[in-house]
Copies of this chain bind each other. A is one copy, B any other.
Amino acid sequence: MEVTRRTLASDNAAPVHPEIMEAIASANLGHAVAYGDDPWTRSACEALAGQFGTECTVAFVYNGTGANVVGVQTALSSFNSVVCSDMSHVAVDECGAIEKLTGSKTDEVRSVDGRIDVAAIEKRLEVLGVEHHSQPRVVSVTQATEVGTVYSPEQIREIADLCHERGLYLHMDGARISNAAVSLGTDLAGTTIACGVDILSLGGTKNGAMFGEAVVVFDSELVVALPFIRKQSTQLASKMRYVAIQFERLFATDLWRRNAEHANAMARRLERELSTREGVEIVYPVEANGVFARMPQRVIDAAREEVFFYSWDAGDRVVRLMCSWDTEDEEIDRLLAAIDRAL
C-alpha cells in the first residue's frame, strides 16, 4: 500500500499519532478481562478524573455518533427532544441515530456562526408541560462547533443555567473539545464541568487516536443506566484496553494539548494567509482547527487538485479546510501556491 499524501479533508483522515500507536502496542501483553474490568481502563478513567475531577463517570465507546447517542440517552425518554443547532452533528450528520436509538426528536435551532444562544433555546421551551409536543430535555452544543468556532465559557454557562432552571440537561458534543480548550486557553474542565455541562462526548479520534471516544457524565443521577445504555447501543468494546490506553496516553500526558495546539496553529496560519488573498473570503471566525472560505470555483478546483479538501456549501462555493495533528506547512504552502496560480 502506498502512502497517501496529507490532505486538509478532515481530522479523521489523519493517521494515528505515533505516541498512541506506541501506547497501543504496549498494552498488547497477556490477558485482560473483557469489557473494561482491566487495569488499562482503570488507569484511563483516573487520567480523566484528573482532568475533570473525581465526580465524573466515564464510559468508553467506539465513535462520536456512539458517544452522542449513549450520552444523551442517559437523560432522555422517547417523548423528549434534544434542542441543538441546525448544523449540529447530532441533527444532520448521524443519519438519524438520535431518532432511532432514543425515539426523541432533534429540535433544530437556527445557529449563528455555528452557535445557538439562550434566547433561541428558550423559545423552544414554551412547549414544556404540553402533551402534544416533544418535551425538551437535553440541549446539545458542539464545542468546537461544526464550523470551527468556539463557545466562550460564559456562553456555555448561560445555556447550562437555563437548562438547569428548567429541568433540562446540557450535553456537549466534544469531538473537538481539545481544540476548543486550547483556543480558549483553558483546560478541559474549564469549558465543561466548570461551565455546568452535564454530559460530555469527549473526542479522541480527531485528536490523534485510532478510534474511541468517551462519554463523561457529571450528573450522578444519570450514571445508573449508563452501562446498560452503552451495551444495548452496540458501543461496548470487548477488548476495551485498546480503547482505554489511547485515552490514557492522550489525557494523562499533555498529548491532547500538543495535538490540538498544532492543529489550531495551522488553521490560524491558513486563515492569516487566505485573508490576504483577494477573492477569498473567510466565512466563519477561525477559532479552532477548521477554516471555512468562499472562493471562486476555478480556484477551488485547482486547489483541491493539489491538496484534497471537501466542499462545505457547494452552491455557495464555501470549502472546509481542516487541520489536524499532523498538518505541515508543506501542504499549506502547496495549497496557497495553487490558489495563487488560479486567482
Using CB atoms and an 8 Å cutoff, list the residues of chain A in contact with chain B.
1-7, 9-10, 12-16, 18, 21, 24-35, 38-40, 43, 62-66, 69, 77-81, 92-97, 99-101, 103-106, 108, 131-135, 205, 210-211, 225, 227-239, 242-243, 308
**Cβ 8 A contact of A225, one of B14, B26, B77, B242:** B77
**Cβ 8 A contact of A95, one of B14, B15, B133:** B133
Q: What is the minimal beta-carbon distance from A264 to any residue of chain B, in angstroms?
A: 19
Q: What is the minimal beta-carbon distance from A247 to any residue of chain B, in angstroms?
A: 14
- B29 near A25 with CB under 8 A, answer no
- B28 near A12 with CB under 8 A, answer no
Q: What is the bound-complex CA distance between A308 and B34, given in angstroms?
A: 12
Contact partners of A27 in chain B: CB under 8 A: 1, 15
- A99 near B99 with CB under 8 A, answer yes
- B28 near A6 with CB under 8 A, answer no
A134-B95 contact given A62-B234, A239-B12, CB 8 Å threshold: yes
What residue of chain B has the Cβ atom nearest to residue A34's Cβ?
B12
- A95 near B132 with CB under 8 A, answer yes
- A103 near B103 with CB under 8 A, answer yes
Q: What is the bound-complex CA distance between A308 and B38, given in angstroms?
A: 14
Q: What is the bound-complex CA distance between A96 and B107, given in angstroms?
A: 10
A30-B43 contact given A104-B99, A233-B234, CB 8 Å threshold: no
Q: What is the minimal beta-carbon distance from A270 to any residue of chain B, in angstroms?
A: 16
Q: Which 4 A-B pairs have the closest CB atoms?
A: A79-B228, A100-B103, A12-B238, A96-B134
**Cβ 8 A contact of A97, one of B92, B225, B232:** B232
A21-B28 contact given A133-B92, A234-B63, CB 8 Å threshold: yes
Q: What is the minimal beta-carbon distance from A140 to any residue of chain B, in angstroms?
A: 15
What residue of chain B has the Cβ atom nearest to residue A238's Cβ?
B12
- A28 near B13 with CB under 8 A, answer no
A239-B210 contact given A66-B234, A97-B233, A99-B103, CB 8 Å threshold: yes
What residue of chain B has the Cβ atom nearest to residue A123's Cβ?
B315
Q: What is the bound-complex CA distance between A58 and B32, given in angstroms?
A: 30
Q: What is the bound-complex CA distance between A231 and B98, given in angstroms?
A: 12
- A26 near B9 with CB under 8 A, answer no
Q: What is the minimal beta-carbon distance from A206 to any residue of chain B, in angstroms?
A: 8
**Cβ 8 A contact of A81, one of B14, B96, B225:** B96
What residue of chain B has the Cβ atom nearest to residue A324's Cβ?
B31
Q: What is the bound-complex CA distance between A232 and B43, given in angstroms?
A: 31
Contact partners of A28 in chain B: CB under 8 A: 15-16, 18, 21
- B31 near A9 with CB under 8 A, answer yes
**Cβ 8 A contact of A132, one of B62, B77, B93, B225:** B93
What residue of chain B has the Cβ atom nearest to residue A27's Cβ?
B1
8 A-B pairs (CB sep. < 8 Å) = A4-B38, A16-B239, A21-B25, A65-B231, A66-B234, A96-B104, A96-B134, A103-B232
Contact partners of A106 in chain B: CB under 8 A: 105
- A236 near B131 with CB under 8 A, answer yes
Q: What is the minimal beta-carbon distance from A92 to any residue of chain B, in angstroms?
A: 6
Contact partners of A64 in chain B: CB under 8 A: 238
